[in-house]
Chains A and B, each alone.
Chain A
Amino acid sequence: MRSNTRKYRLMILLCIAVTFFVFILSISIGRYSIPFWTVLQTLTLQESVDTTIRSVIFEIRLPRIIAAMLVGAALSVSGAAFQGLFKNPLVSSYHLGVSSGAGFGAALAILLAAGTFAIQLYAFTFGALAVAASFGLSRLVKGSSTLTLVLAGMVVSSFFSALISILEYVSNPLETLPLIVFWLMGSFNAIRIPDLINITPIILVGIAGVMLIRWRINILSMGEDEAQALGIDLKRIIGILVFCCTLSTAASVCIAGVIGWVGLVIPHIGRMFVGPDFKKLIPMSAIIGANYLLLMDDIARTLTTGEIPIGILTSLVGTPFFAVLLWRNKVGWS
């Protein structure tokens, strides 16, 4: 086995086992704590379980937990894919403007006093539009490369950030402004089964698309000339990657708000486990990302009596962690 596949498979199995444990643990903890054994009984649909417990688990905790895992996986996978695509380990899933676009969409919907679903729809649409704008802008440049795409992403992100500021400025400081600010900080608090039904297929399709072509990201990351010499159709593969990543990140942001430092940090942690090969890194990032965001959300809802916005937590944990990685020279560009 020259490709170290056995070690990798073992590691994935181990991580899946850990995920299962974290999953059950997350259902069990909360303001209304449920014993481990009861959680298992409820999940296996045994009749003897109390109906209150059943409704707490199935209607409140489970949707939230599944959403956190999906979003964690989506942000980490697209972050890893973008780092390879842009040949830049400092890039995250939001690099093409999906978060600022979605933030603008959500803020607009909140100003228009729209309902939850409309806010999600606006956020998703404007998130996707922002990426499309970055993409289109980069295509205007002759001989467009991933470098122009990075620059276009920065331009579009800043533009939508400015638009968000305008909306915040004109909004009512007592009613709509707090809503916008809280939305931007991110939360899984309001997620129920219908939200989950809307976003799950979109996120899964996005992740699956990246999964399918993940080995090609290695070749993309070697440089555009090398990738072409190795038979890669650059436009097509970049198009597929950006499309899939946008689907899953836009769907993530539209239900959970802007959760930073996941798509940047998790791929680096993945590399510490399985190395830089995207064939192994993408699945590993998905699993680690799912666990990480789930644990962060557990903390967000249990640490205080209130709810801590999860975007604040991930930044608080992510930044020092990344600083340590930098300091230990583990970021993986040398």
Chain B
Amino acid sequence: MTFETRGLSFGYAKDRTIFENIGFSVGKGEIFCILGPNGTGKTSLLRCLSGISMPLTGSVTIDGKDLHSLSRAEVAKRLGFMPQLHSSIFPYTALEVAVMGRSPHLGIAASPSERDYDLAWKNLELLGISSLAEKPYTRISGGERQMVLLSMLLTQQPDIMLLDEPTSHLDFGNQVRLLELLRRFSKKGFSVVFTTHFPSHAFQLSCTVALMNKGTFESVGPAETQLTEENLRRIYGVDLCVEYVSKANSRTCVPIIKNDDGRGVGAR
């Protein structure tokens, strides 16, 4: 399985593009992380990659087949997309939301069977949120909603998962659990593409990183070569340091907030 995009550009008008000429490929079981400042087009990129938005130029292919040559359901069987923010008008229970992931696998006139509900339930359990199963989706927190959406994505069982800032609303523990889960799924052969605002997440997963800035990929490569202090400083425009933490056996990125005299002001 290869997920690939070539020469992808998108914009709401030809002369005002959001991003331009983006290309990369993700193999089976690989994790691909997109990092970049606000407003650089990460969400638009994921929407194009998932086939929701139509790109101006370029192609997105799964195993050489163009996304737009496949039917919606065929795409959704192989490619799942988890949006960053989502709410619903109607107070469906978390289980009812999770089971919606079965949609591409069911015929147009079918509704989910007991087995589909069981699968959705198992995924709620896997994410440790089975206690939310009967709760209305509209009355749980943003982070809980994000976890429910993730369980819906797992219930969809796609080969490739596109996640738009999956950790943005999660507490510290759930962020870590989500990273562990992504790692576990990649080991099982799922491919993952996700955007994040935390360089440390890319270090922790030791994955391929694309640095996205001003609507294009500046460079793509392994986390340790891409996420240098110099690159991160340039992209985010703040002072920071990247250190190896031996206890965690991972690098991490720490911002430096400075006093007037130029020294860091954090707690010692």
- A→B interface (CB under 8 Å): 1-3, 5, 84, 87-89, 212-216, 218-219, 221-223, 225-226, 228-233, 237, 271, 275-277, 279, 332-334
Contact of B95 with A216 in the complex, beta carbons under 8 Å? no
Asked if B118 is an interface residue, CB under 8 A from chain A, the answer is yes
B189 at the interface (CB under 8 A from A): no
Q: Which positions 101-160 of chain B face chain A at CB distance < 8 Å? A: 101, 103-104, 106, 108-112, 114, 117-118, 120-121, 133, 138-139, 156
B100 and A218 contact, CB distance less than 8 A: yes
Task: State A219–B73 Cα separation when bound (angstroms).
Answer: 13
In the complex, the answer to whether B89 meets A88 with C-beta atoms within 8 Å is yes
Q: In the complex, A215→B76 CA distance in Å?
A: 17
Is B71 positioned at the interface, with any CB of A under 8 Å from its CB? Answer: yes
Contact of B90 among A89, A226, A228, A233 (CB under 8 A): A89
Cβ A229 vs Cβ B81 within 8 A: yes
The DSSP consensus for interface residues of chain A is loop
Indicate if the CB atoms of B111 and A333 lie closer than 8 Å: no
| B100: chain A residues within 8 A (beta carbon) | 218-219, 222, 230
How distant is the Cα of A332 from the Cα of B111 in the complex, in angstroms? Answer: 22
CB distance from B46 to the nearest CB of A (A): 10
Binary CB contact string for chain B from 59 to 86 against chain A (1 if under 8 A, 0 otherwise): 0000000000001111111001101001
B90 touches A333 (CB 8 A): yes
Q: Does B181 contact A (CB under 8 A)?
A: no
Inter-subunit contact A215/B112 (CB<8 Å): yes
Residue of B nearest to A222 (CB): B88
Counting from the closest, the 4 A-B pairs by CB-CB distance are A231-B76, A231-B104, A215-B111, A276-B90
Q: Is the beta-carbon distance between B72 and A233 smaller than 8 angstroms?
A: yes
Contacts of A215 in B (CB 8 A): 106, 110-112
**A225 to B50 Cα, complex, angstroms:** 10
A232-B72, A332-B91 known; A218+B101 contact, CB < 8 A: no
Contact B114 A2 (CB under 8 A): yes
Residues of A near B201 (CB, < 8 A) are none
B contact residues around A334 at 8 Å (CB): 91, 138-139
CB pair A275 B76 closer than 8 Å: no
Distance in angstroms between the alpha carbons of A219 and B121 in the assembled complex: 18
B88 pairs with A230, CB closer than 8 A: no
Complex interface: chain B residues within 8 A of A219 (CB): 100, 103
Q: How far is the CA of A218 from the CA of B88 in the complex (A)?
A: 10
Chain B contact-residue range equals 35 or more
Q: Is there a chain A Cβ closer than 8 Å to B96's Cβ?
A: yes
Cβ–Cβ < 8 Å partners of A2 in chain B? 95, 114, 117-118, 120-121, 133
Closest to B92 in A: A276
- B102 → chain A closest CB, angstroms: 9
Q: Does the CB pair A89–B92 fall under 8 Å?
A: no
Which of A87, A232, A333 is close to B103, meaning CB atoms less than 8 Å apart? Answer: A232
Q: How many A-B residue pairs have CB under 8 A?
A: 101
Asked whether B47 is an interface residue with its Cβ less than 8 Å from the other chain, the reply is yes
Provide a sorted-by-A list of 16 A–B residue pairs whose CB atoms are within 8 angstroms.
A1-B114, A2-B114, A3-B99, A3-B112, A212-B109, A218-B96, A229-B50, A229-B52, A229-B80, A231-B77, A232-B73, A232-B103, A271-B90, A275-B92, A332-B91, A334-B91
| Cβ-closest chain B residue relative to A216 | B108
B120 to chain A, nearest CB (A): 8
- Asked if B11 lies at the interface with its beta carbon under 8 angstroms from chain A, I say no
Distance to closest chain A CB from B257 (angstroms): 37
Q: Least Cβ distance of A125 to chain B in Å?
A: 29
Q: Does B222 contact A (CB under 8 A)?
A: no
The minimal Cβ–Cβ distance linking B18 to chain A, given in whole angstroms, is: 15
Can you name the residue of chain B whose Cβ is closest to the Cβ of A223? B86
Which of A212, A214, A233, A333 contacts B89 (CB under 8 A)? A333
Give B103's nearest chain A residue, CB to CB: A230
CA–CA, A275 to B137, complex, Å?
Answer: 12
Question: Closest chain B residue to A230 by CB distance?
Answer: B103
When chains A and B are docked, how far (Å) is the Cα of A2 from the Cα of B113? 10
Report how far A212 CA is from B110 CA in the complex, Å: 7
- Indicate if the CB atoms of A230 and B92 lie closer than 8 Å: no
Q: Is B226 an interface residue (CB 8 A)?
A: no
User: B175 near A: Cβ within 8 Å?
Assistant: no
Whether B174 is near chain A, meaning CB under 8 Å from some CB there, is: no
Which listed residue, A89, A231, A333, touches B72 by the CB 8 Å rule? A231
Other 4 A-B pairs with CB < 8 A, given A218-B92, A230-B103: A275-B92, A277-B92, A333-B138, A334-B138
B156 close to A214 (CB less than 8 A):
no
B93 is an interface residue with CB less than 8 A from chain A: yes
A223 contacts which chain B residues (CB < 8 A)?
Answer: 86, 88
For A89, what are the chain B residues with a Cβ–Cβ distance below 8 Å? 89-90
Contacts of A333 in B (CB 8 A): 89-91, 138
Query: Do A230 and B101 contact each other (CB < 8 Å), given the known contacts A215-B111, A218-B96, A225-B47?
Result: yes
Chain B residues near A231 (CB, 8 Å)? 72-77, 103-104
Chain A residues near B71 (CB-CB < 8 A): 233
B135–chain A nearest beta-carbon distance, Å = 12
Task: Report the minimal beta-carbon distance from A82 to chain B, rounded to whole angstroms.
Answer: 13
Chain B residues closer than 8 Å to A221, beta-carbon distance: 88-90
Interface contact B138-A233, CB-CB below 8 Å: no
A5 to B118, CA, bound (A): 13
- Residue among B74, B90, B99, B138 making CB contact with A84, cutoff 8 Å: B90
Q: How far is the CA of A229 from the CA of B101 in the complex (A)?
A: 10
Q: CA of A213 to CA of B108 in the docked complex: distance in angstroms?
A: 6
Complex Cα distance A275/B109, Å? 21
Pair B75/A226 contact, Cβ less than 8 Å:
no
CA of A113 to CA of B208 in the docked complex: distance in angstroms?
Answer: 77
